Amino acid sequence: MNGVFRAELLATRKRPGVWVVGGAWAGLAVAFGMVVPYIVWLAIRNRPVGSAGDPEQLIGGVLPDKFLSGTVDLYPMFGSALMLILGAVLVGGEYRWGTWGTLLVQGPGRNSAVLGKAMAAAVAVLCVTVLVLAASAGASGLVAALTGRPAHWPDAATLLGGTGAVWLISMAAASLGIFLSILLRGTGAAIGVGLLWLLALENLVSGLAGTFPSLKWVQRLLIGPSAGSLATALDPSGKPNTSIPGVVSVSGPLSASLVLAAYVVVCLGLSCLLVNRRDVT
């Protein structure tokens, strides 16, 4: 297993798609989470509270004390989709290039091959997580300096918990991408179905849950609402940020974490089952 992991880690490092997706998401997180709210604040800061929103509330959401929850808020609608693409890219390419057979003939069992790829994906996701949080923290500190606001940073325990929350959300989405790429034997179809699931089906269920209470238990089992619940737990106000699309809080942080962990376990378990039972070529 150790040799498979090292080989997959090397292959992951050399995949351009990993660098593109990771870099793109870091840039988008800073743009949507920090730059856009700051620009809007500049435009409305001298206006009274009205249809454009409260300028103080808007700028307060990007200051250092809230940068962590603000970053997690971006995952229900945007970040989880990018991480699903990352997971699909890491595994789906093996079908496109026909390299599954070459990998397995070298000795590792099928379970070891899948789990080695999953472990390499976990490391890649962790690197992207740290990159995104560091970029958001830097942008948040810059906003505080430009606006002359005090920079009250989260304590070490909160930072560690936020990093774990972002990594867990990302791994749940990436594991879904890995499973779909194995199920559908390719990258393109896996990305298409995965984005339909995350961006269409999950938001449809969340939208209908207010009208049909029987759907609330289904909503608690979805990646987006679970991510929103973790974001709410990290927010000093304890309230979901409804200004960002897709952010809802449906459960406590423990329940949300268990749901996301279940996605990782179930998706990787089903991936191993499929690779063992089917011809990989």
d(CA 220, CA 218): 5
pLDDT digits (tens, 9 = 90+) for 215-251: 888 889 999 999 989 988 887 776 776 667 667 778 8
- Name 53's bridge partners: 50
Which range (28-42, 114-128, 199-213, 215-229) has the least confidence?
199-213
Decide: residue 180, CB within 10 A, 0-12 exposed, 13-18 middle, 19+ buried. buried
d(CA 12, CA 217): 37
**pLDDT value for 243:** 64
The four Cα atoms 260, 265, 271, 276 give a dihedral, to 10 degrees, of -170
First to last CA, the chain: 22
CB 225 within 8 A of CB 247: no
pLDDT confidence tier of residue 152, bands split at 50, 70 and 90: confident
d(CA 33, CA 101): 43
SS3 193: helix
CB 185 within 8 A of CB 94: no
pLDDT confidence tier of residue 213, bands split at 50, 70 and 90: confident
Going from N- to C-terminal start, the domains of the chain cover 2-277
pLDDT digits (tens, 9 = 90+) for 31-69: 998 998 888 888 877 776 655 567 777 788 888 888 888
